[in-house]
Amino acid sequence: MNLWTRFVISSAAATALVAALSATTLQQLTLDDMIQKSTAIVRARVTGSHSSVRGTDIYTHFQLQVLETWKSSGPATTEVAVPGGVANGIRQMVGGAPELKPGQEYVLFLWTGRSGLTQVIGLSQGLFKVSEEGSGGAVAQRPPASELMLDPSGLPVQDGPVSMQLQDLRARVLQALGAAK
């Protein structure tokens, strides 16, 4: 093997390694997992956002107008941090990070860590967009995650979209929480 061929193979291997290191892998969470592991579950409307830097990470902080609280371990959450965004002229993108839009209503499954930072549990898995669909009332939907997902045993699984009536999602959350008591 000549020097040029070795260089091309080494470069390709290094590129593949860097791509693999920057990829996001998610543990697939069931709805029941998210209900139990969340520190708060709210129906809220996004009212604004700002960015911040924590160490080497950029976060976009979304302000929430909480419309309903389905689960809470403290005062109503009024802000959620999403990894990625633009700060100090630098853009950082994080695969699997949920996308929130000002004025849009969502059901958010939230988790607050010891640092006090509140985030959407399971990245995009814990964010359901609420929209009015015909005469059936509001619908909560989430598209399938495009990132690699693993089941609890570590095997790859295919994620699927989730769509249900908002009233059915609320009832399922409240029923699961009632059963947990």
Statement: the pTM of the whole predicted model exceeds 0.85: no
Could you tell me if 99 and 116 are in contact, meaning their C-beta atoms sit under 8 angstroms apart? no
Q: Is 73 helix (H, G, I), strand (E, B) or coil?
A: coil
Tens-digit pLDDT profile for residues 9-35: 444 444 444 444 445 677 889 999 999
Tokens 């509001």, located at residue: 138
* C-alpha to C-alpha distance for 153 and 137, rounded to whole angstroms: 38
**Does the pLDDT of residue 176 top 80, yes or no?**
yes
Q: Report the distance separating Cα 175 and Cα 149, nearest Å.
A: 27
The model's pLDDT over 128-146, given as tens digits with 9 standing for 90+, comes to 999 987 677 999 999 998 8
Q: Which domains does the chain have, with CATH numbers?
A: 24-180 (2.40.50.120)
Backbone phi, then psi, for 144, in 5-degree steps?
Answer: -65, 145
Beta strands in 4-56 (DSSP E): 25-27, 40-54
Determine the 3-state secondary structure of 15 from DSSP: helix
